[in-house]
Structure 1
Amino acid sequence: MRNKLFSLCFVIIMIFSLSLTGCGSNNNNNAASATDKPAATTDTEGTGGNASATTEPAAASGTDISGKITFLTNRTDMIGKEYDEYVKRFNEKYPNIKVEFEASQTDYNQQAKVRMASGELPDVMFVPSIPNSDLPKYFASLDDLGLNDKITFKDFKSYEGKLYGITTGNSTSGIVYNKKAFADAGITEVPKTWDEFLAACEKLKAKGIVPLASNFKDKWPLNDWVFAVPRIIENKADFPNDKLNTDTPFTMDNGYGKSFSLLRELNEKGYLEKDINSTNWEQSKKDIAAGKFAMYFLGNWVINQVVGAGTTSDNVGFFPLPYDNSGKLTAPLSPDFFYAVAKDSKNVDAAKAFVKWMIEESGYEDFAGFISPLKGKESKLPQLKEFQATGVTLQEGTPDDPKVTEITNKAQLDIPAMLQEFVLAKDPQTVFDKWNKAWAKAKKDLGY
């Protein structure tokens, strides 16, 4: 299990040889985590073309399919537990398929790439950070599963009209809050504007409750402020790609500056941890559960973890971040890891049957705290129902242009780290000036 990956989103040094991106630090915080964090806010590889609705002949099913398959998973905590229950139910439908699980004990993305290089892929796995143009080299098309028109993010892991990866589940981001802490502070309604949010923070602070746990020091918990909020402020899912058209992509009056300024304001008003340079992720979950801290701004994946840290589900709520005073609520929708089937698997049909069953019947998304990868399927989680009842619009993320990733890497630009600088700087404009200069130079050096 990885508590400190993101990140929405996978950039590690060895990845550059095969190409990827993501959100965040050395381990890129877009990477999905076993138990602590979502994956990726965005996929920073190229789209590689759009998946088409072309459907191949349906694969065999039921007793017609047999074989032994191995699934390389990052969810080490589920082996011997929930996965066993899944296999029992799966075998009721596919009695002749034996499923085994292989645990990824290290960085999943890196381990998967090593396996790809050696030509020893498991039958079922998650797609690592590779260009979409490489997908056909390693994975079988999933168009014959009949899911193309039912799933979200079908274009993310597609190439030349063929589908190679299906998201395991989706996340949105918002305010996860302790209901008792809100009640103790006299907050009777969830905020719907930024001014209302600040007023709620002030009431919490006056009550001796830390309004928002930022986990500032760990950096990856800041991913949503840099990868999600700028997009929704601009009302443009592919806003990061606008950086290609300018030498000064970071300005105080665009999505980046406005988003960063929100967190800066919360810190200046004393609404974050007392010492944001010495925060503790694991302890923060316990403090949220106990009501010492009132809120997180994170993905819905953290809801079950807060409950597990010492409170009841009915004490945890979830509402969209009101990032301005318009009253209009928008939140990002991002995919987690993507299931894929190895092209050279000896039991491709069996592997495909397992992937289809995991998507449609396992219920994994509810266990993991995700939104279903299937369009329109309602979550069983009460917090997600509360979130959706606000009338929030979900903005489906888009892949970043590969050129953006290339320039970002050349400039050694770490946007969550930039946010840390911005929040603490005496003059935040100087932070933007520094990184705009680095961006412009890298862009010019690469001929863009």
Structure 2
Amino acid sequence: MKKAIAYALVSLLTVTSLAACGSNNGSDNNGASNNAGGSAATNNAASGNDSAAANDGATASDGADADISGKVVFLTNRTDMVDKEYKDYEKRFEEKYPKVDLQFEAITDYDKNEKIRIASGSFPDVVLLSTLIPNSDFPKYFAPLDDIKFDGDIYFKDFKSFDGKSYGISSGNSTVGIVYNKQAFEKAGITAVPKTYDEFLAACQKLKDAGIVPLASNFKDKWPLGAWYNDVTAIISGKADTSNNRKDSDTPFTLDNTYGKSFSILKELYTKGFLEKDVNSTNWEQSKKDVAQGKFGMYLLGNWVINQVVDAGAKSEDVGFFPFPADNSGQAKAPLNPDWFYGVNKDGNVAASKAFIKWMIEESGYDDFAGFIPTLKSKEPKLAQLNEFNGYNPTFVEALPTDDTALSIQNKAQIDMDGLVQEFVLAKDPQKVFDKVNGQWAKARKEIVK
């Protein structure tokens, strides 16, 4: 397994960035990929940088021998881990660093709310780097992390860098494909996973005919739609530059480019009745239960959702994972993305924060809990479904750092990419939707690109 992932990472083409990371909440996502959803109450505790002494230049490189002390607050998107896994993390970290008071603050709509907090000048010690902040702005708010000495090489080390310094450490990594319920496939008479788009549509029809919702889109929740502008575009083109290339055009959204092709796939699935019956009333938490129970057949998401489906009641052996066939070539492709990146408030408890990040990467077990490809290259992923995924021999397309110019235009234009996907899918005339956002983009680009 480790060899399969390592080979994929070494022989990669280049890819779309998580817009989130978009995985990006999924950020522009992705991130995804990167929001676990959840409905736990938000803890609004203040950051509390109690230990000025801890910000005296000590680093996490010395491990437990360093004079690490004071309060550390981690602002997280994992609202579902509050009073659960985070309690265990707190106990174990404080056993290693008894002078530290570790606290967790969980929020929803992470990108937007974190950006507001940062703009106000008051934010916790450890955060997940907002995808809305260009790399060139990192030195204004965050401390360089190059002095953290990990037990080996890490993936995406320079992804969140500026002027030769790294400001972010990936919390984990993922690919995006079809997570599916094997029992639902069996009930629908699907004997082999689809390897072409036509086969995928045929599988969807069989699921629908069997009374199973083929694909959980989580349309209303918006952030899961990030896969359609971050990841499917990479699968279609085999490149990661779709988002960055927008800076060179006044009309980056067209029906015949990768955005149009990707969004049109989702529109076709919607038109054929392969998504939820009422896409405007979907629910993220409920969808995990529905996939686990076989009421829904598939997700188009990252491997990080697999453990959540299992936690929702599915047997691990009943959950599978295969590359999404976005065309009829029969050649499997898949993005390879970092998830959210840890960053450290330069005015916070820097030394203890770096110790916490090192501990999260090396000792917490968060990557296994989240179903990630570990950040440490030497660590073998434990998610069994990644073996199945690699068995289809996909060509991996590795994420590229976000281009600051493209991001600045995006922010100036105030284009809600998730909302754009929604509008396109529901529109009688998708071209008019693209005309509108292209107008916003061109106006903003004129102001940014001189």
Please say whether Structure 1 and Structure 2 have the same fold, judged by a TM-score greater than 0.5: yes
The structure, 1 or 2, with the larger RCO (C-alpha pairs under 8 Å, 6+ apart) is 2
Which of 266, 271, 274 does residue 268 from structure 1 map onto?
271
- Give distance in 2, aligned partners of 1:439 and 1:239: 15
Q: What secondary structure, in the 3-state scheme, does the structure 2 residue paired with 1:144 have?
A: coil
Q: How does 1:1-400 map to 2 (within 5 A)?
A: 7-9=20-22, 22-23=27-28, 32-36=34-38, 59-74=61-76, 75-90=78-93, 94=96, 96-105=98-107, 108-109=110-111, 112=114, 116=118, 122-128=124-130, 129-147=132-150, 150-345=153-348, 348-375=350-377, 377-400=379-402
Which of 403, 406, 411 does residue 405 from structure 2 map onto?
403
Partner of 1:44: none
Q: CA deviation at 1:192?
A: 1.4
Q: What secondary structure, in the 3-state scheme, does the structure 1 residue paired with 2:314 have?
A: coil
Change (3 A) 1:36 1:394: farther
Q: CA deviation at 1:98?
A: 2.8
Q: Determine if contact 2:23/2:338 at 8 Å carries over to the other structure.
A: no
Q: Determine if contact 2:169/2:343 at 8 Å carries over to the other structure.
A: yes
1:282-310: CA deviation from partner (whole Å, max 9, x where unpaired): 33222212211111112222222222223
Q: CA deviation at 1:359?
A: 0.7
Change (3 A) 1:127 1:86: same
Tell me the TM-score normalised to structure 2 length.
0.80
- Give distance in 1, aligned partners of 2:235 and 2:336: 10
Which of 394, 416, 424 does residue 418 from structure 2 map onto?
416
Q: CA deviation at 1:166?
A: 0.4
Partner of 2:435: 433
Q: Determine if contact 1:31/1:109 at 8 Å carries over to the other structure.
A: no
Q: CA deviation at 1:403?
A: 2.5
- Give distance in 2, aligned partners of 1:247 and 1:336: 30
Q: CA deviation at 1:193?
A: 1.3
Q: CA deviation at 1:187?
A: 1.2
Kindly provide the amino acid, as one letter, of the partner of residue 267 in structure 1: Y
The alignment yields a C-alpha RMSD, in angstroms, of: 3.3
1:105-140: CA deviation from partner (whole Å, max 9, x where unpaired): 465556655665676654433334533333334433
Kindly provide the amino acid, as one letter, of the partner of residue 274 in structure 1: K
Partner of 1:3: none
- Give distance in 1, aligned partners of 2:24 and 2:195: 35
Structure 2, gaps ≥5 residues long: 1-18, 40-57
- Give distance in 2, aligned partners of 1:411 and 1:138: 24
Q: CA deviation at 1:265?
A: 1.8
Q: What secondary structure, in the 3-state scheme, does the structure 1 residue paired with 2:61 have?
A: coil
Q: Determine if contact 1:247/1:436 at 8 Å carries over to the other structure.
A: yes
Change (3 A) 1:153 1:249: same
Greater shift in the superposed pair: 187-196 or 307-316: 307-316
Percent identity between matched residues is 57
Q: CA deviation at 1:32?
A: 4.3
Q: CA deviation at 1:179?
A: 0.6
Q: CA deviation at 1:441?
A: 3.5
Q: Determine if contact 2:216/2:296 at 8 Å carries over to the other structure.
A: yes
Partner of 1:48: none
Q: CA deviation at 1:172?
A: 2.1
- Give distance in 2, aligned partners of 1:440 and 1:136: 29
Q: CA deviation at 1:319?
A: 1.2
- Give distance in 2, aligned partners of 1:58 and 1:416: 38
- Give distance in 2, aligned partners of 1:356 and 1:260: 39
Q: What secondary structure, in the 3-state scheme, does the structure 2 residue paired with 1:217 have?
A: coil
Q: What secondary structure, in the 3-state scheme, does the structure 2 residue paired with 1:286 have?
A: helix
Kindly provide the amino acid, as one letter, of the partner of residue 229 in structure 1: V
Kindly provide the amino acid, as one letter, of the partner of residue 365 in structure 1: D
- Give distance in 2, aligned partners of 1:366 and 1:227: 24
Q: CA deviation at 1:196?
A: 1.4
1:259-293: CA deviation from partner (whole Å, max 9, x where unpaired): 11211222222222233233333332222122111
Kindly provide the amino acid, as one letter, of the partner of residue 234 in structure 1: S
1:161-204: CA deviation from partner (whole Å, max 9, x where unpaired): 11222011123221111110001111122111112111211211
Q: What secondary structure, in the 3-state scheme, does the structure 1 residue paired with 2:409 have?
A: helix
Kindly provide the amino acid, as one letter, of the partner of residue 404 in structure 2: P
Q: CA deviation at 1:212?
A: 1.0
1:289-335: CA deviation from partner (whole Å, max 9, x where unpaired): 22111111122222222222232222111111111111222222232
- Give distance in 2, aligned partners of 1:265 and 1:95: 54
Q: What secondary structure, in the 3-state scheme, does the structure 2 residue paired with 1:298 have?
A: strand
Q: CA deviation at 1:231?
A: 2.6
Change (3 A) 1:58 1:32: closer
What number of residue pairs does the alignment pair up? 412
- Give distance in 1, aligned partners of 2:419 and 2:227: 13
Q: What secondary structure, in the 3-state scheme, does the structure 2 residue paired with 1:225 have?
A: helix
1:204-244: CA deviation from partner (whole Å, max 9, x where unpaired): 12212121121223322211112221133122212222222
Kindly provide the amino acid, as one letter, of the partner of residue 330 in structure 1: K
Greater shift in the superposed pair: 98-107 or 175-184: 98-107
Partner of 1:50: none
Change (3 A) 1:187 1:65: same
